[in-house]
Structure 1
Amino acid sequence: MNNNNRVKGIALGGILAAFAVICVFFASILPTSVLTLYAVSSLFISVIIIEFGTKAGWTFYLVSSILSAVLIPRLEVVPFVVFFGIYGLIKFYTEKIQSRILEYILKFAYFNICLLLGLFFLKEIILVGVTISAPIYIVVGLLELVFLIYDYVYTLFIRFYASKLKPKLKI
């Protein structure tokens, strides 16, 4: 990476990290659209990975997670740090696997582990103001469906960025 690309990478990383932190901040204070804001916060890492590679992606994840934890010292940062902030990297590595079945097994395994941890340790964040009267297996099944849609929309975003935005931005 030459010096000009390094400067572009740092500048773009800083701007996108700020956007991610802003999304997490709003997710922590707004009463609605929390999952949407977390989902949007997770998209920025994919731009970094496309433009500068996985090493920059890991750096972006660490920086945006640390900034979120320092600037928003609340438990609402945990979903970003544990799941949404790193999902772009998880998606990148699992989609390199040749088997689509194994790819989705790994994605769902990661999602379900995060979901289990969230349900046991972060009920007050994830289920704010929600009373669930359905059996847990139905709730988990619905959340897995939401995750599948999230993964699909994430893929659409990556395709849109790579085919439409990247050529116009010329980073």
Structure 2
Amino acid sequence: MKTSMKVSLGGVVAALSLVLMLLTSVIPFGTYAFPCFAGILLILLVFNLGFRWAIAVYFVTAVLSFLLLTDKEAALYYTAFLGFYPILKGVIERIPSKVVQYIVKLALFNVCIIAAFFVGMTLLSIPKESFTIFGVYLPWVFLIIGNIAFVIYDLCITKLVTLYLFKWHNKLNKNTKL
């Protein structure tokens, strides 16, 4: 594929990802959902252009998200985990054991989300007491729910990748000569 085609495909995916990220400021549930969708778009680049291009578009989208978004929490989640996980998912799934794969995936998720929580608290100056209701420290509850949501998210990505590979990848490559 010519370099100009690679740049244009990367630019289109970066623009779509950024539009999704900008929607986080408009739609309330978007803080969590749209960074997920923006990250999933990077899988197209992994299949068609390779890891380097996907990582480059991830960095571009992450930087522009912090510069342009009013919802900095969404930019933080995209940068801390949701943007690069779809790129790394294929690498992690090369591990022969499914159990070890999920241990690595869950460990990566928990480390990234906990780090994002502390970075967010530091940068946004949120008092720790605001996360306690009726004596329950809510971040632990959110982390448990987040792990369940992550497993569902991972399964959904797997289904989408399978659908893309078997239904669309060959058709798109024939039509666009990628």
* TM-score, normalised with respect to structure 1: 0.83
Q: Deviations over 1:112-137 (max 9, x none)?
A: 0122123333367xxxxx98665654
Alpha-carbon contact 1:95-1:103 (below 8 Å) kept: yes
What is the aligned partner in structure 2 of residue 36 from structure 1? 33
Paired residues in the alignment total: 163
**Separation in structure 1 between the aligned mates of residue 85 and residue 152 of structure 2, nearest angstrom:** 14
Among residues 83, 86, 92, which one is paired with 1:85 in the alignment?
83
User: 1:105: which partner in 2?
Assistant: 103
Q: Which residue of 2 aligns with 1:21?
A: 18
| Cα distance change of structure 1 residues 132 and 150 upon mapping to structure 2, 3 Å threshold | farther
> What per-residue deviation string (whole Å, max 9, x for no partner) do you get for residues 63-99 of structure 1?
2222223333652311111111111122121111112
Paired AA for residue 155 in structure 1: T
**Identity across the alignment (%):** 25
Root-mean-square deviation (CA, aligned residues, Å) is 2.3
Tell which deviates more after alignment, 101-110 or 113-122: 113-122
Structure 1 distance, partners of 2:133, 2:13, is 35
Matches of 1:122 and 1:153, distance apart in 2 = 27
> Of the two structures, which has the highest relative contact order with CA contacts closer than 8 Å and spacing of 6 or more?
1
Q: Deviations over 1:8-47 (max 9, x none)?
A: 2211111111111111111134322332211111111100
Cα distance in 1 for partners of 2:171, 2:39 equals 22
Q: How does 1:1-171 map to 2 (within 5 A)?
A: 2-3=1-2, 6-72=3-69, 75-76=72-73, 77-122=75-120, 137-170=140-173, 171=178
The code of the aligned residue for 1:20 comes to: S
Query: Could you tell me which amino acid in structure 2 is paired with residue 78 of structure 1?
Result: L
SS of structure 2 residue aligned to 1:122: helix
Gap runs ≥5 in structure 1: 125-129
**CA drift at 1:146:** 0.4
Task: Work out the CA distance in 1 between the residues paired with 2:168 and 2:24.
Answer: 26
Distance 2:20 2:94 in 1: 28
